[in-house]
A = this chain, B = another copy of it.
Amino acid sequence: MKVLVLGAGQLARMMALAGAPLSITISAYDVNTDTLVHPLTQQQLGSGLAQALEAADVVTAEFEHIPLAILEQCQASGKFLPGASAIRAGGDRRVEKALLASAGVANAAYQVINNQADFEKAVSRLGLPLIFKSALAGYDGKGQWRLKEAAQTASVWQQMADFLAADSSQAIVAEQFIGFQREVSLVGARSRTGEVKVYPLTENHHVNGVLSVSLARPVDHALQHQAEQMFAAVAEQLDYVGVLAIEFFDVAGQLLVNEIAPRVHNSGHWTQQGADCCQFANHLRAVCGLPLGSTALVRPTLMVNILGEDEVPNAILNIPALGLHWYGKTKRAGRKMGHINLSANSTAELKAQFAKLIDQLPASAFPELEQMLHQL
A positions within 8 Å CB-CB of B: 13, 17, 20-23, 38, 40-41, 43, 276, 285, 290-291, 293-294, 296, 314-315, 317-318, 320-326, 328, 338, 343
Nearest Cβ on chain B to A327's Cβ, whole angstroms: 9
Q: How far is the CA of A50 from the CA of B41 in the complex (A)?
A: 22
Nearest Cβ on chain B to A64's Cβ, whole angstroms: 25
Nearest Cβ on chain B to A360's Cβ, whole angstroms: 11
Contacting residues, chain B, for A325 (C-beta < 8 A): 21
- Contact: B17 with A20, CB < 8 Å? yes
| Contacts A17-B17, A314-B291; A326 near B38 (Cβ below 8 A) | no
What are 24 pairs between A and B in contact, CB < 8 Å? A13-B20, A17-B17, A17-B20, A20-B326, A20-B328, A21-B323, A21-B325, A21-B338, A23-B326, A23-B328, A38-B41, A38-B43, A41-B41, A41-B43, A276-B321, A276-B322, A276-B323, A285-B317, A291-B314, A291-B315, A291-B317, A293-B317, A293-B322, A294-B320
Q: How far is the CA of A40 from the CA of B41 in the complex (A)?
A: 10
Which of B40, B314, B326 contacts A290, CB < 8 Å? B314
- Contact: A290 with B317, CB < 8 Å? yes
Nearest Cβ on chain B to A343's Cβ, whole angstroms: 8
Q: How far is the CA of A285 from the CA of B314 in the complex (A)?
A: 10
Taking CB as reference atom, which chain B residue is nearest A341? B21
Taking CB as reference atom, which chain B residue is nearest A276? B321
Nearest Cβ on chain B to A338's Cβ, whole angstroms: 8
Contacting residues, chain B, for A17 (C-beta < 8 A): 17, 20-21
Contacting residues, chain B, for A293 (C-beta < 8 A): 317, 320, 322
Nearest Cβ on chain B to A28's Cβ, whole angstroms: 13
Contacting residues, chain B, for A315 (C-beta < 8 A): 291
Q: How far is the CA of A13 from the CA of B43 in the complex (A)?
A: 17
Contacting residues, chain B, for A338 (C-beta < 8 A): 21, 23
